[in-house]
Structure 1
Amino acid sequence: MSVLLALETSSIVCSVALFNGAQLVGMSELRIEKSHSSHITVMISQLLENCGIHLKQLNAVAISGGPGSYTGLRIGSSTAKGLCYSLNIPLLEVSTLYSLAAQVIANIPNPEQYLFCPMLDARRMEVYTCIVDHNLHEILPVAPLVLEEAAFQEQLSRKKIIFLGSGAEKFKSLVAENSNALFVDGVLPSARMIGDLALQKYEEKVFEDVAYYEPFYLKDVYITSSASNTSK
């Protein structure tokens, strides 16, 4: 059986999970903002020790590939790439939005009756989002979106859509009168689902290039100079 380590750092959640084949062996999770850089390697080390797994027994590392927090994604990807490079094992990527949708799909009856719209908060009225069906087939591609009342009206006219994730709350009041708009609260990114989705990629040998891999940031990051620098 393959031993897989999964990492999720795309949001305030810092999560690591360990799998032996399809079985979840253990998981550790923190929900402390801006804690990833100081905790993730400790969490990995403690999880491996608690589960009786040596670092050299890992067969692959899976990473939540974004979109999400720029800093969080960089920390997660650099950690994963470092492990894969030093251990000479493959790197797997799973879409953060797909993993959110998969959590709900796995836990509701008759998921084929719905479409699923995961949303990650991108400040103000903007979100990172997409729409997928119950098989995670893309109906609308991943993109940044400024929420307004007319958003998703075409899709909502045809089928019930379940909205979820940290950005979904902002959309509730805009579609309160639409009976096809349903909401599930409390769905946060988790390494457990990253690992679940990565297992199929591992079996199919869908690996990332460790040397050149970059997370899916979705939007450019703008870095402004400090006042002291701009005055020079």
Structure 2
Amino acid sequence: MNDTNRNSDKPIVSIQQVHKSFGQLEVLKGVSLDVKKREVICIIGPSGSGKSTLIRCINALNSIDSGSITVEGIEVNSPNLDKLALRKKVGMVFQQYNLFPHKTALQNVMMAPIKVLKQPVSEVEKRARKLMNRVNLQGKEDSYPGELSGGQQQRVAIARSLAMNPDVMLFDEVTAALDPETVKEVLLAIKDLAQSGMTCILVTHEMGFAREIADHIYFTDRGVIVEHGPPATFFTQATDPRTKEFLSQIL
């Protein structure tokens, strides 16, 4: 996974001095970070520290007040942003699966490429079946979301995002709503994706998982990045008191 050429690439995602407020509440206070191609970044921190807001800004689900975000040269904060062009490049999986309950798992995976990208049904179906296999759901193609466990639904949601062939995948606390026994299968699907070279940005509270798959960990608190580093040093040599306190509570 640790590709030696990775550091020579310019960032695929660049976040520079981003500020974001909701009313009087300033949620992001000048956040900057770069993500290189094929890199896996984990963002951790207490609830309300701005993690989910930050990754929603990358996908233009939240606008920013100042600063800049670019994804493969697309200025996300531009007033002329083509959101479709951006979302072809950036897939996102949420805490809630948001599947269409009246569509089968396979139909859920196929919808966006057919409706949004106008790709031929036969081609999309072939790819969707491969993606169902990839997230270990072979045999569940014709099941409806209500017939699937939470972990299976979340893996359908991952396959659905992958069906758009994104260059970057965003994961926002995707295991938070799952039963403990189904968390592992979702994390395995993400791990497979990361190891295949997909650029991934994850907001997660699964510390063991973050330590295992991340190239770089960012700790946020009260809207700022307090500390960051590779897992090997981040978890054992944190220097900021806020980071140490957070890690002492969860490790």
Give the TM-score normalised by structure 2.
0.26
Normalized per residue, the structure richer in helix is 2
Instruction: Give the number of the structure with larger relative contact order, counting CA–CA contacts within 8 Å between residues 6 or more apart.
Output: 2
